[in-house]
Structure 1
């Protein structure tokens, strides 16, 4: 098994979820995930946001606001909906994942919540549809104002594992409060809840990067990452608080602190411009965690390799 740093499009197309996990682990904290919104007009409409993020150095692409029952990636004008994910993977040569949201109808609301379409909710039906569409991994998390709770995330992990099988790669966790009272800032998630996600079948735990939510310090992030590793999972530290639209110095600080906390891979969110981080910030993040050598190779590598 190659480390992900050395993988090209022909490697990714053959990987199972478990093999992708091992490739990430072997890369020793040098893997970058860029989240993009699939359901809005791209920043530059002649290419998808996923293509733009990949070209600036992202190793993996995570689609947000994607409805599995009405599949569409804005910018893929000639793609059949049933083939949209596979067409996108062919164009970018990277693993592509999907956000699904374990909404809790009984969540205590910290703010007015949005109603989501069934195709974005975490359910047995959406997991089956995601598998059929060809997604390489699933991320169970919450967008702002959705009412996703840790309790529902744990239940969704169990369901996803049952539906998608042992080889699927499942990420679980919250990067901010998602509009839920009592699950924000330093109270976002307890260590025992993280362990519960892993015991339910999660391969990777998503946590906020130090400095992205109030109270998430380097020390507290490291303690959570240590707990994740002690229970056999990998840790993804996420920047999902619009700081993906910050200046280069902020991006570098978040990236270095996340690496010192022990992250196995890093997430940069989609709220910089129109459904994508500031593209240069994807590159700055990549250079910070692994230097220009690996960043430029990832940016330049052809999908025909």
Structure 2
């Protein structure tokens, strides 16, 4: 299997779970993942945010707030399976967030209640698999009440009913006061079957520092997991230098995937920031290769 940063759309079309994991691993910390909210109008009318993120250099695409039962994407034309259609249009592996809401926890602010098609349950996991979702992120949006304990239970369920890559962890508190980076919980995620874990990028969540996070990441990778550094605190719309700093810090920490979130205008990362992140972590050669290739290849 090629490195993901060297793949064309034809290489992605029928990629398996194990091949995708290996393709990310062999890209050596140069994989870019972009996230967009599908319940908001796109940044540019007539072009989905998924297409925009792919054009500016993302290797992996995550559709946030995608309801697997409703299957609607605002601003997108009607089709039977929008996951398959977005994958066809972009030539990228497609993921979604499914949220393990912990009903035993009290949210610190006003709780956001989400539909069953966005939560982790047996039916939503099966629907994701049947739609052709390549990977899921078991994580929480702001104020939804997703806990580390609920993520553990979700991994067990996902291993049984999903079939694609499973990433687990928190980008921020999701409305709870528990630590976002909990080394013991992250190790448990891997032991339960997660293929990768999420950790906040240094400089996004207060108190997350390179010197502490690097040792945690090294330990997680030694257990065979992929590690994703996330920018999920609306800093995806920060200035270019801040984005470059995040990317280089992620590299020093040792993460495999650079996530850039959906908090910009149009509920996607600023396109220029995707490109800046890409150039910072892999240079113009790989950035332009990804941006310039046709999905017909």
Aligned equivalents of 1:224 and 1:246: distance in 2?
27
Aligned to 1:217: 209
For the residue of structure 2 that corresponds to 1:86, the secondary structure is helix
Aligned to 2:130: 132
Aligned to 1:109: 107
Question: What do residues 53-109 of structure 1 show as CA deviations (whole Å, max 9, x unaligned)?
Answer: 1110000100001101100122321x32x3111111111110110000000001132
Aligned equivalents of 1:74 and 1:59: distance in 2?
22
Aligned equivalents of 1:88 and 1:230: distance in 2?
34
- Equivalent runs, 1:129-208 vs 2, <5 Å: 129-165=127-163, 168-181=164-177, 183=178, 187-208=179-200
Q: 1:238 aligns with which of 208, 226, 230?
A: 230
Q: 1:292 aligns with which of 251, 261, 284?
A: 284
- Equivalent runs, 1:29-178 vs 2, <5 Å: 29-77=29-77, 79-80=78-79, 82-165=80-163, 168-178=164-174
Structure 1 position 200, deviation (Å): 0.9
State whether residues 68 and 130 of structure 1, in contact with CA within 8 Å, keep that contact through their aligned partners in structure 2. yes
State whether residues 228 and 256 of structure 2, in contact with CA within 8 Å, keep that contact through their aligned partners in structure 1. yes
State whether residues 263 and 269 of structure 2, in contact with CA within 8 Å, keep that contact through their aligned partners in structure 1. yes
Aligned equivalents of 2:73 and 2:285: distance in 1?
31
Question: What do residues 96-123 of structure 1 show as CA deviations (whole Å, max 9, x unaligned)?
Answer: 1000000000113221111111100011
Aligned equivalents of 2:44 and 2:60: distance in 1?
20
Aligned equivalents of 2:135 and 2:210: distance in 1?
27
Gaps of 5+ in 2: none
Segments of 4+ moved more than 2 angstroms? none
State whether residues 31 and 266 of structure 1, in contact with CA within 8 Å, keep that contact through their aligned partners in structure 2. yes
State whether residues 107 and 144 of structure 2, in contact with CA within 8 Å, keep that contact through their aligned partners in structure 1. no
Aligned to 2:265: 273
Aligned equivalents of 2:272 and 2:151: distance in 1?
32
Aligned equivalents of 2:63 and 2:216: distance in 1?
26
Aligned equivalents of 1:223 and 1:215: distance in 2?
15
Larger deviation: 172-181 or 218-227?
A: 218-227
Aligned equivalents of 2:216 and 2:38: distance in 1?
31
Structure 1 position 46, deviation (Å): 1.0
> Number of residue pairs matched?
297
State whether residues 209 and 221 of structure 1, in contact with CA within 8 Å, keep that contact through their aligned partners in structure 2. no
